[in-house]
Amino acid sequence: MSTHRVSHEPAYVLHRYDWSESSLILEVFTRHHGRIALVAKGAKRPSSNFRPVLLPLQPLQLNYGGDAEIRTLKGAEWMGGHVMPTGEALLSGYYLNELLLRLLARDDPHQALFDAYAGVVQVLAGDHGKAQATTQAASLRAFELLLMRETGLLPGLEAETLTLHPLARTTRYTLVAEAGLRQALEGEAGLTGRHWAVLQAALDDPTPFTATLRAVATLSAGTNSALRSQLRVLLNYHCGVTTLRTRQMMRELQAL
């Protein structure tokens, strides 16, 4: 039986587990093959060529082979382009990785989502001034929207989900798990129909991450906060948790 081999595959390491005294199991997100598991034999040895390369939030090119559920890593090359994010940006990157691990099935390609992930990581690795922090937050919201659309968890944002009635521009609507978009109740977080339409148009753009990032960045602080709270509840619901581990870590660090 021939062994399936993949060469020069763009990828990012999402998580790594000890497999033996000298080896690692990697969860990686690849551009053409989706999320896969790899064994990196000898990667923990001080002399291993893998040791300085297999880091999270770094663009890699991988060679691997095998037909089992866990393939064997043959080669890994760092593609450069940016430094490792630090501080809160690093935790935000781990948050993205946790979402992908929880919501993506193995061997299910999502090229547009891979490109969006690469875009967010570049933003997170940028300078950490006040303006950059705002851009980083907008990039996270854009990625959350694209992730849910790619995985079939986001309804169309141009109509009420249950009735299919077009959204009124000035009426507020809220995004609810299993119910989609409906009119917001008094005191409930929501966005106007106009805002949802802008986000839908951005998601449909030929370059959806860039367009959605720009659309989110134009929202007011209050509207952005309402969007963040709705997406957070929706993501927690579909991940099956009340709070993601990385979010809890952020809260604990901010409380110190």
- The first and second tokens of residue 214, run together, are 């720009």
CATH number corresponding to 87-255: 1.20.1440.120
Query: pLDDT tier at 126 (50, 70, 90 boundaries)?
Result: confident
Q: Give how far the C-alpha of residue 99 lies from the chain's centroid of Cα atoms, to the nearest Å.
A: 6
Which residues, including other chains, have CB under 8 Å from residue 238's CB and lie 6 or more apart? 103, 148, 153, 177
Per residue in 184-229, pLDDT (tens digit) is 999 899 999 999 999 999 999 999 999 999 999 999 999 999 999 9
* Domain boundary assignment for the chain: 5-78, 87-255
Class in CATH terms, 5-78: mainly beta
Q: Could you report the per-residue pLDDT of 55-87, keeping only the tens digit for each?
A: 999 999 999 999 889 999 999 999 987 888 888
pTM of the predicted model over 0.85: yes
| Environment class of 180 (CB within 10 Å of its CB; exposed 0-12, middle 13-18, buried 19+) | middle
